[in-house]
Structures are given as C-alpha cells and as structure tokens.
Amino acid sequence: MLSAACRDSIRAMIYIANLSKKEKYKDRFISIYKIARDLGLSFYFLSKNFQKLVKAGLLESHRGPQGGVKLLKPPSKIRLIDIVAVIDGMDFFNNCILGFEKCSDENPCSIHNLWADKRRQILSMFEKTTLEDAIRNIEKFENIKV
C-alpha cells in the first residue's frame, strides 16, 4: 500500500519529531546522514525523498555545517496523510480498487460498497494520526530503530 519511499519517509519524519522533543535538538537542523544511519536507511534514497517534503513545506532544510532538516510545524500539526500525499499521492484513496473510471458511490462497481468503507477508514486513520501521536508509542517499542 505504501511505497518504499513513503514508508522510509514516514519513519524518518517520526524519528525527527521524536528527536525534536529533546532539549539538545530543539529547533536545530538534524543531518540527513545521521537520520539515515540511525534508522538503517539509505542516505541517498532518503535525501532524494526529503526533497519533496521540503518543496511541499513539511520540512525546512539548511546546507553547510550544522545543516540538515527540521520540521516546519509542530509534530501535532503534521499528519501521516500529509506525508503520504506528497510522496505517493492520493490515487489509492481516489481510484476504484478494480480500476473502473466511472466507479463511485452513485455508480458502484461490484465491490465498491464493501471497499469504500474500508478505504474511508484507512484515510481517516492517516488523517487523524499525527507525528505527535506516533512518538507517544516509541518508548514502548524495543526495536533498535525507531
């Protein structure tokens, strides 16, 4: 459902949000190299994907020593759907699961009524969940990588 690019981006955004809480990183830029290393992601791939988030206004970037990226809004104002929309687009939520152009609530394909309900719930989850919500669960997660 999520592309690899989107999956990595969400992980990285949650990581940044979490770091930003700590006094040491408050309002500072966090280097993409560090993020990729800490999360076990590809620096190249992550940098490339972050460029879209910067253009979309979710991240601010800064070059040079002490440079990196930081959130432009507080974690409570950044929703997972904002990241998904930028990286993957909204096709998943807008298009018929069987690929019919004309499928809609008014003219439903043979599984539209079943699927539309699930899709709405997924959308709702991504709309309701913010980076703030996500970082609340991090402490409990005993994985090395956030």
Partner DNA sequence: AAGATTTAAGAGTATTTTATCTTAAATATA
Partner DNA sequence: TATATTTAAGATAAAATACTCTTAAATCTT
Q: Give the residues lining the site for DNA (CB under 7 A).
A: 3-5, 8, 29, 31-33, 42, 44-45, 47-48, 50-51, 54-55, 61-69
Task: Please report how close the Cβ of residue 39 comes to DNA at its closest, in angstroms.
Answer: 12
Given 3-state DSSP classes, what are the helix, strand and coil percentages for the chain, each rounded to the nearest 5? 55, 10, 40
SS3 113: helix
Tell whether residue 110 is a contact of a second copy (CB under 8 A).
yes
Task: Please report how close the Cβ of residue 106 comes to DNA at its closest, in angstroms.
Answer: 27
Residue 44 or 121 having the CB closest to DNA: 44
Binding residue (CB under 8 A) for a second copy from 5, 56, 108, 127: 108
The answer to whether the CB of 14 falls within 8 A of the CB of 133 is no
Longest dimension (CA), the chain: 57
- Distance separating alpha carbons of residues 144 and 146, to the nearest angstrom: 7
Judged by CB under 8 A, the stretch of 26-34, 42-50, 58-66, 106-114 that binds a second copy is 106-114
The residue count of the chain comes to 146
Task: Please report how close the Cβ of residue 77 comes to a second copy at its closest, in angstroms.
Answer: 17
